[in-house]
């Protein structure tokens, strides 16, 4: 008999049907009731066992997370919370799971412990819910852009350019690590490397995305990016996924409209299609917060917060307005910010979260940042006073996460872009092709990058970004 997935059985229960299901045991109560799950749904299927029909030694092997296959008849459930259950006629043990040797147990385990056992953590209710939602968000990304006429571009993972100018990149090389070839001056001779030059893992597909946008109109990328940052926060990874739309003829205001509509679509898709997973994650957060002080708890539940984000307009302010709000706050006046707030300095996570969680209590766009703290490709705003020049950059800030989206209107003026490249000490010849985009048929355009894991972290309510990616890569961590 062909196997039927549990999700299909629960979606269209057919009392009296003979079915075969396969999955992992979540619990086995009283030698009679097996809660079976197969990953296709958050919910389990109850399997009812007539223990007199099976040998006692066999039933002892049906332990937590053992893998079994069951054939039997669907009947109306006698218990609450389920419409049907499966009366077992035949049970096959596909894979034993000896409890004394197994890393997981049917009890609460810390997130830190489960990260060390990442090869098993997807079997838990929490992580199976998280990774179903991660899949669904990825699907929604492609659906959103495809349905609106965007073209999906695959930009290089190995690149010779640094889009951010940060320099914190992973080098890619085939040269002998212990004895690399050297030039007459003693420097490593990258001309003898595989690509004939120094190359790195990409930090962004933006620059290549601009090439496509200035030919196809509107495109998006969705791929892995890499940052060699010694960061140990709950919001940073060394390998993460980024979504980067780029749109010809858009300005900074169009950019914000696109970003807001996009993230609302992603959240709405999960609310509409994954209510059981969200309800479980919502309850998980509430249970965790029971012993917290009231001030440390979320002001609303996970599902309520997601609906609030979808149903309300995001706030829009300038960087200058943000600085004024922060400096006039009681938190700043009482010296409770760890980092100072001054015009010209970048906003820190604590400042971003204050704006979102305390002042506006909803997502916030901050735009028009000081030119000196932003990347070379961001368009300089016209009419700013000397010493207070700004660029058409924007960040979208979310509760509990801080920055989720960073973007800008790109500098389309060749002369201005060349000035910025020189001012930041970037070698002009490295970006000859990027400059030529402005010389031949250039136009105003804008785009942004959305950190995929941060978006999933927000939607699932998970406290650490390492818990929304299957195999996290961070400083000192490259297991699995």
What's the pLDDT at 294?
85
Q: How confident is the model at residue 160 (pLDDT cuts 50, 70, 90)?
A: confident
Q: Please check the confidence at residue 242 and state whether its pLDDT lies above 90.
A: yes
Tally of residues, the chain: 480
- Over residues 146-156, the pLDDT tens digits come to 999 999 999 99
Q: Where exactly are the structural domains of the chain?
A: 6-102, 123-168+203-467
Q: Please check the confidence at residue 167 and state whether its pLDDT lies above 80.
A: no
How confident is the model over 400-415, as a mean pLDDT? 95
Residues 268-279: b if buried by 16+ CB within 10 A, e if exposed = bbbbeebeebbe
What's the pLDDT at 162?
63
Greater confidence, 306 or 295?
Answer: 306
Q: What kind of fold does domain 6-102 have according to CATH?
A: OB fold (Dihydrolipoamide Acetyltransferase, E2P) (2.40.50)
Count of C-beta atoms within a 10 Å radius of residue 288: 12
What is this structure's pTM? 0.93
Beta strands in 254-363 (DSSP E): 315-318
Q: How confident is the model at residue 384 (pLDDT cuts 50, 70, 90)?
A: confident
Q: Please check the confidence at residue 367 and state whether its pLDDT lies above 90.
A: yes
Backbone CA torsion sign across 158, 159, 163, 166: positive
Q: Please check the confidence at residue 480 and state whether its pLDDT lies above 80.
A: yes
Q: Looking at 187-191, 385-389, 431-435, which range is the least confident one?
A: 385-389
Q: How confident is the model at residue 299 (pLDDT cuts 50, 70, 90)?
A: confident
Q: Please check the confidence at residue 80 and state whether its pLDDT lies above 90.
A: no
Q: What kind of fold does domain 123-168+203-467 have according to CATH?
A: BirA Bifunctional Protein; domain 2 (3.30.930)
- Over residues 429-459, the pLDDT tens digits come to 889 999 999 999 999 999 999 999 999 999 9
Q: Looking at 88-92, 94-98, 126-130, 382-386, which range is the least confident one?
A: 382-386
What's the pLDDT at 165?
55
How confident is the model over 246-263, as a mean pLDDT? 98
What's the pLDDT at 467?
96
How confident is the model over 242-271, as a mean pLDDT? 98
Alpha helices in 218-274 (DSSP H): 252-273
How confident is the model over 62-88, as a mean pLDDT? 93
The CA distance from 395 to 356, in Å, is: 12
How confident is the model over 355-378, as a mean pLDDT? 96
What strand order describes the sheet that includes 158-159? 158-159, 199-201, 171-172
What's the pLDDT at 164?
56
| Angle at 42 (CA atoms; ends 23, 63), nearest 5 degrees | 35
Q: Please check the confidence at residue 286 and state whether its pLDDT lies above 80.
A: yes
State the chain's mean pLDDT as an integer.
94
What's the pLDDT at 468?
97
Give the pair of three-digit tokens for residue 206: 């933006």
How confident is the model over 231-237, as a mean pLDDT? 83
Q: How confident is the model at residue 403 (pLDDT cuts 50, 70, 90)?
A: very high
How confident is the model over 204-231, as a mean pLDDT? 95
Q: How confident is the model at residue 178 (pLDDT cuts 50, 70, 90)?
A: very high
């Amino acid at each position: 008999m062909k196997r039927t997935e549990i999700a299909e059985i629960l979606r269209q229960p057919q009392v009296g049907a003979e079915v075969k299901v396969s999955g992992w045991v979540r619990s086995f109560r009283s030698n009679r009731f097996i809660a079976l799950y197969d990953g296709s749904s958050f919910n389990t299927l109850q399997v009812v066992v007539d223990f007199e029909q099976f040998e006692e030694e066999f039933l002892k092997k049906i332990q937590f997370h053992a893998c079994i296959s069951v054939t039997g008849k669907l009947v109306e459930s006698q218990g609450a919370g389920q419409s049907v259950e499966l009366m077992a006629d035949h049970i096959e043990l596909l894979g034993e799971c000896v409890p004394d040797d197994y890393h997981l147990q049917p009890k609460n385990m810390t997130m830190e412990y489960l990260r060390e056992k990442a090869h098993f953590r997807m079997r838990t209710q929490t992580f199976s819910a998280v990774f179903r939602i991660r899949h669904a968000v990825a699907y929604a990304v492609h659906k959103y852009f495809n349905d609106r006429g965007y073209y999906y571009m695959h930009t290089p993972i190995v690149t010779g350019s640094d889009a951010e100018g940060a320099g914190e990149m992973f080098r890619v090389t085939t040269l002998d690590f212990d004895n690399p070839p050297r030039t007459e001056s003693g420097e490593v001779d990258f001309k003898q490397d595989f690509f004939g030059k120094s190359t790195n893992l990409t930090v962004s597909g933006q620059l290549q995305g601009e090439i496509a946008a200035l030919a196809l109109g509107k495109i998006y990328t969705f791929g892995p990016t890499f940052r060699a940052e010694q960061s140990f926060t709950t919001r940073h990874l060394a390998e993460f996924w980024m979504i980067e739309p780029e749109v010809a003829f858009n300005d900074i205001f169009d950019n914000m409209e696109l970003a807001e509509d996009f993230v609302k679509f992603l959240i709405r898709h999960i609310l509409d299609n994954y209510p059981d997973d969200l309800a479980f994650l919502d309850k998980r957060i509430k249970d965790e917060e029971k012993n917290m002080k009231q001030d440390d708890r979320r002001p609303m539940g996970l599902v309520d917060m997601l609906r609030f984000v979808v149903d309300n307009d995001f706030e829009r302010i300038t960087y200058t307005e943000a600085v004024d709000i922060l400096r006039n706050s009681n938190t700043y006046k009482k010296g409770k910010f760890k980092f100072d707030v001054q015009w010209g300095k970048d906003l820190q996570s604590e400042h971003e979260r204050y704006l979102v969680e305390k002042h506006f209590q909803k997502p916030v766009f901050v735009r028009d940042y000081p030119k000196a703290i932003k990347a070379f490709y961001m368009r300089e705003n016209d009419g700013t006073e000397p010493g207070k020049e700004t660029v058409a950059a924007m960040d979208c800030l979310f509760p509990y996460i801080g920055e989720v989206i960073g973007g800008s209107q790109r500098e389309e003026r060749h002369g201005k872009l060349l000035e910025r490249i020189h001012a930041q000490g970037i070698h002009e010849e490295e970006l000859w092709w990027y400059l030529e985009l402005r010389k031949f048929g250039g136009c105003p355009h804008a785009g942004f990058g959305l950190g995929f894991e941060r978006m999933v972290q927000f939607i699932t309510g998970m406290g650490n970004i390492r818990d929304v990616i299957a195999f996290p890569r961070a400083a000192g961590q490259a297991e699995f």
